[in-house]
Structures are given as structure tokens and as C-alpha cells.
Amino acid sequence: MIEKFMNAFVPDKKKPVEKLPERKLEKSLDKNIEYMKLLFDGSADFTVKYVNTANARCAVLTMEGMVNKETLAVSVINPIVQSVYPIIYGSEFLRYLEKNVLSASEQVEIETVDKVLTLIMSGFAVLLVDKCSVGLAVGVQGFSFRSVSEPETEVVQKGSREGFVEPLRINMSLLRRRIKNPRMKFETLTIGTVSKTDICLCYLNDIVSQDILQELKKRLSCVDIDTVLASGYLVPYLQEENDHSLFSTVGSSERPDTVCGKINEGRIAILMDGTPLALIVPYLFVESFQTMEDYSNRPYFATFTRWLKYLAFVVSMLAPGIYVAVATFNPELFPVQILTRVVTSIGDTPFSITTEVLLIHFVYEIMREAGLRLPRPLGHAVSIIGGLVIGETAVNAGLIGAPTLMVVALTAISSYVIPNLYPPIAILRLLFIVAGGFFGIWGIVLLFCVVLVNVCSKKSFNVPFMSPIAPFSMFGMRDVLIRAGWRTLAKKRNLVGKQKSD
């Protein structure tokens, strides 16, 4: 019954998506062009350039703005026009062009209309020849894209400043540069019945678990979204069925070095064209606390920052709830000096502690969202208003108490120590406040146990989400409880991939 109830909130996502039969190219150039024009229905960016030679009529199909016109002219059109040909026609002529005339490095033969459409909308130029049912896609991409820069969400002090960008091929090259090994495999797929978005699975062929890989492909084949515009669209399909948890079992990163590190542990990265965020599966809970910088710093400092993150996680999730619970039901836990301050602040304010804390949190969340969406010039104004309104004025006006504000501020700062976990922390924090306000310490503990069981029951591609804490693995603790030195970490034993002998 619980399952039935919970399924009310989650759509079925079990069936693989059916693919329509593909239409092949015809021999007649005019018919092919007619058909393309019919499909594009007068769209302004579809261009056809007819190039006539002595042997056959040709046409170059491109999308305006997607190709580099100079490269197109130099490596495709000019060579076709200026070359001298033997007496050959049709597909033989096409192959002659491919081998002897065109100077572009990337050339792909295509036979279906679907492929022609996909490639020209990916920035290729497609050459069609009359009396030939095969086309030639030439790589002359020239669309604008953002340059490789440091990702804003994953900033490090020591380490690479490169982050993924939107084009898939560039992201692939960022990974390839870091793992110069033929065992590193890129497998491309297309998803989205309308958008036909390219995605790429990246893994090390010899250490990835084939079970996980097959399962991943099976789940990707069940994606039935028309238009896939961000990697986040795929996440529900990659998670386990009936997964209603706040914590995600699919990781993400904008950093090529982080992704390469994960691939090296036997995980699979999913790159998507148009998104700078790579997805990583399987993903464990402890990985939310691991950053690239941990591995650049000395072990003792990295261990210290790791424990700081654990503490920040606990504080950000539990501190407001515990404060509310203690102030309302268990004031004996306060030392006398703090009790005096809390009592005075409660007496001066019109709201109960629970209401106060909830109110401040909502105001903070509003400010945070506003800060994300605001144009930069206005950002300063918002922070001033936030600081003045909430920080000083509200306390002086007696609307909220200073201890409450202190707790909320500490919570807010702590939650940014582990940005990956901000969404679940933000929600859980509110739940703990309500639980603490209604049931005191009992409510906090029971809700904590429920969350704990929920997290412990999760699996990411059949790997327990709480590994290596539960089930416990002493070997895994070398990168959880502490950050062991590289001499120890180099003795690899993957938690998720195939086991490598040392």
C-alpha cells in the first residue's frame, strides 16, 4: 500500500522507447532536397548550396550559423569546383570526392534522412550527389560556444581551472587529454525523440563493471522525454525504481579532472551535448564530501577539512532543529548563561521559537534564490538589504532573537561547505525544525532514524549508497574517515568497478 501511494508521485519509466523506421536517401538529388525542404518547412536556417560538376550535380546542405563558412569553402566547395574528375558517376563519384578531393579530416558516409538531419543540425555539412543514395557528412563545425573556463560551482585553490563546456566533442577531448589510454572508451548515444540530443558514455573498458554498463544502457533506453535540454532530465531515469529519497544516487561534476578520477575508479561518466555538467554513476553518499582539492593537499590537512565537512553537514542539517527542540522541550541542555540569553530573546519577540526559525529560514531561502537570479550589478544591493533587514533591523525591532539569527546564520554558512548536498539539506532542515518543534528531541531522533534507514536502503546501480560506511569496509575508510596518503591510495581496490589485482 505504501508502494502504491508513493507511485502516485512517480511516473512509470519502465518501457524502452520505440524507434520509428528510418527513411533512406533516394538516388535523385532533387527528390532528396525536396523532402528536406518539406521537413524544414521553409525554416530560415536551412541552406542548400548547389555545386555542379562535369560528372554530376551536387548539393551541400548546412544549417546557418552552425558551420564555419571559411572551412566549408576551403575544404569542401572550392575543391569540388576546382577539381578535374575522371568519368565516374553516382556513388563512385562520391567516393572519389571523399578520398581525393575533399580536404576535411572528418568525413562520414550516411544513408538515412534521419542521420542527415542529425548531422547537419550538429554542425556538419552534408554533400549529396545526384544518382547516389549515399551522402557524405563533412565536419566543418563553426558554431559559437563558451570557452573553457573554471566552473563556478566547483572552485578549488590548487588544481586545474578547466571546466566542461557545452559542446560534447570538446568535453570528450578534455577527458581524453587526461587519460591518454586506448582503454578509455567513449560510447555515443542519442536520446530525446524531438531534440535528438547526443550523449556520451565514458568509461575505462577494463575496469568498468559490465553489469553496471548494461544496466545503464537499459535505463537510458527507457528515457521517453521529447526534449532533453539538461543532464538533470536524465537523473530520474538513472535512479532506482521507486526511489523517493531526497539524496540523489547520480553524481555530477563540471570538472574534467574530477570526472577522470571517478572513471579511474570504475565509474561511468555521462556527457551530454549542450550541458557542461557530467553525470557520474554509480554515486555514493561519501563522495559528496570529497573534492579534488583533498587530493592535492597534504593528508593531515585534507583529513581535517574532510572532518570539517562532516561536521558542517551535521550542523547544517540538525542545528536549527536541535535548537528548537532544546529551547521548547529540553531547556535543561542549555548552560545557564545561554539559557539567560535565549529566555531574554524569546521574551522580547512575538513569535514562538519554531515560528521564528522557520520564518528566518524562508527569508534566507528567498534571498538565496534572489541572489542566484539577480544580475550582478544588483547583487551588492541585495546583500546589503539582507544584512541590514535581517541582520540588524529585525533583531533591534524585536521581531527575531539574536540567538536564533546566530543559529540560522551558522547553518546557512555550514550548508555551503558541501554544495552538492544543499538541496536535501535545505529540505531536511525544515523537516527537522518541524519535528523538533512538535516532538522535541524524540522527533529529531525519530526523523533522523527514518532518514538514516532511507539512505541506507538506497542503491546506486546495485552498489549500496552508504558504502563503505554501511556495509562497512575498512579498506574504503582510507578515503572516508581520513584521506590517506597517495602511497596508500595508489593501492587500488575499486569499490564499484571490477577488482584489480594490486
Partner 1 sequence: MKRTFKLMAVFICVVSMLSFTGCKSNKQLNERLIIQGVGIDYTDNQYNVTLMCMDTVQGDEQAPAHTILSATGDTVLDGVTNAISKKGQEPLYSHNLFILLGDAIAKNDAITPLNFFVEYYETRPTVYVFVGDTSANAILTAKTATPQGIANLAQTQYTSGRTITAQLYKFIEDSMSKTQSPVTTQLTVKNDEVQVSGTVVFKDKRLAVTLDNEESLGVLLATGKGNLSTAVVELEGQSQSFTLSNVKSSIEVSSTDDQLIYTVNVTGKADLYEGRIGGGAGKGEVDNKIRWLIQKAVTRTVNQYKTDVLSMGKLLRQKNYEFYNNITDWDKLLKNSRANVVVDISVE
Partner 2 sequence: MKKTISVSVSQLFIMLFLSRIIAYVTFSTYIADVSQMWGNMASLPLSLIITLLMTVPVYMLYKQDKKRTITDNGYEVLGRLGFVVAVVYGLYFLWVLVYTLTLFNLFVTNLLNPTISAFVLSLAVVIAAVYGAYKGIEAISRASTIVLVIVLVAVIFMVCTLLPRVDSLNYTPVFLRSGGDIWQSTLFMIGRNSAIPAMGMLLPFVNGRVKKGICLWAFFSYLCIGLLILLIVGVLGDYISTQVFPMYTVTSIAGVGVLERLDGVFLGVWTAGMFIKISLFIYLLSMCVKRIFGDLASRVSILLCGALVLGVSTLTSVQDSWLGILFNSNVTVWLTLITGVLLPLLLLCIRLIKKKVGARHEKDI
Q: What are the residues binding partner 2 (CB under 8 A)?
A: 1-3, 211, 215, 326, 329-330, 332-333, 335, 439-450, 452-454, 456-457, 461-462, 464, 466, 469-472
In the complex, least distance from residue 254 CB atom to partner 2, rounded to whole angstroms: 29
- In this complex, which beta carbon is closest to partner 1, that of residue 8 or of residue 372? 8
Indicate which of partner 2, partner 1, none lies near residue 457 (CB less than 5 to 8 Å, by partner kind): partner 2
In the sheet with 124-129, reading across from the earlier edge strand, the strands are 46-52, 57-63, 124-129, 135-139, 107-110
In the complex, least distance from residue 361 CB atom to partner 2, rounded to whole angstroms: 22
- In this complex, which beta carbon is closest to partner 1, that of residue 167 or of residue 437? 437
Q: What share of the chain is helix, strand, coil (3-state, %, to 5)?
A: 50, 15, 40
- In this complex, which beta carbon is closest to partner 1, that of residue 346 or of residue 382? 346
Backbone conformation region of residue 440, classed left if phi is above 0, alpha if psi is from -120 to 50, else beta: left
Specify the DSSP class assigned to residue 49: E
Backbone conformation region of residue 196, classed left if phi is above 0, alpha if psi is from -120 to 50, else beta: left
In the complex, least distance from residue 416 CB atom to partner 2, rounded to whole angstroms: 25
**C-alpha distances in Å from residue 130, one per residue of 47, 102, 137:** 18, 17, 15
In the complex, least distance from residue 338 CB atom to partner 1, rounded to whole angstroms: 10
- In this complex, which beta carbon is closest to partner 2, that of residue 54 or of residue 474? 474
In the complex, least distance from residue 307 CB atom to partner 2, rounded to whole angstroms: 14
In the complex, least distance from residue 15 CB atom to partner 2, rounded to whole angstroms: 18
Helices 29-40 and 113-120, axial angle in degrees (round to 10) = 60
- In this complex, which beta carbon is closest to partner 1, that of residue 96 or of residue 438? 438
Indicate which of partner 1, partner 2, none lies near residue 445 (CB less than 5 to 8 Å, by partner kind): partner 2
Indicate which of partner 1, partner 2, none lies near residue 320 (CB less than 5 to 8 Å, by partner kind): none
In the complex, least distance from residue 445 CB atom to partner 1, rounded to whole angstroms: 14
Indicate which of partner 1, partner 2, none lies near residue 44 (CB less than 5 to 8 Å, by partner kind): none
**C-alpha distances in Å from residue 106, one per residue of 109, 171, 369:** 10, 18, 44
- In the complex, which residues of this chain contact partner 1 (CB under 8 A)? 4-5, 7-9, 327-329, 331-332, 336, 339-344, 346-347, 352-353, 437-440, 443
| Alpha carbon distance 80, 58 (integer Å) | 9
In the complex, least distance from residue 340 CB atom to partner 1, rounded to whole angstroms: 5
| Alpha carbon distance 76, 370 (integer Å) | 50
Q: 254-263: string of b/e by CB count within 10 Å (b at 16+)?
A: bbbbbbbbbb
Grid coordinates given for 141: 563545425
Indicate which of partner 2, partner 1, none lies near residue 449 (CB less than 5 to 8 Å, by partner kind): partner 2
- In this complex, which beta carbon is closest to partner 1, that of residue 222 or of residue 441? 441
Indicate which of partner 1, partner 2, none lies near residue 343 (CB less than 5 to 8 Å, by partner kind): partner 1
- In this complex, which beta carbon is closest to partner 2, that of residue 138 or of residue 451? 451
| Alpha carbon distance 35, 175 (integer Å) | 39
Indicate which of partner 2, partner 1, none lies near residue 462 (CB less than 5 to 8 Å, by partner kind): partner 2
Indicate which of partner 2, partner 1, none lies near residue 8 (CB less than 5 to 8 Å, by partner kind): partner 1
In 3D space, the residue among 364, 497, 475, 351 whose CA is nearest the CA of residue 429 turns out to be 364
- In this complex, which beta carbon is closest to partner 2, that of residue 31 or of residue 244? 244
Indicate which of partner 2, partner 1, none lies near residue 469 (CB less than 5 to 8 Å, by partner kind): partner 2
Grid coordinates given for 203: 568509461
- In this complex, which beta carbon is closest to partner 2, that of residue 260 or of residue 325? 325
Cβ within 8 Å of residue 214, ≥6 positions away: none
Helices 353-373 and 422-439, axial angle in degrees (round to 10) = 170
Is-contact 80 102, C-beta < 8 A? yes
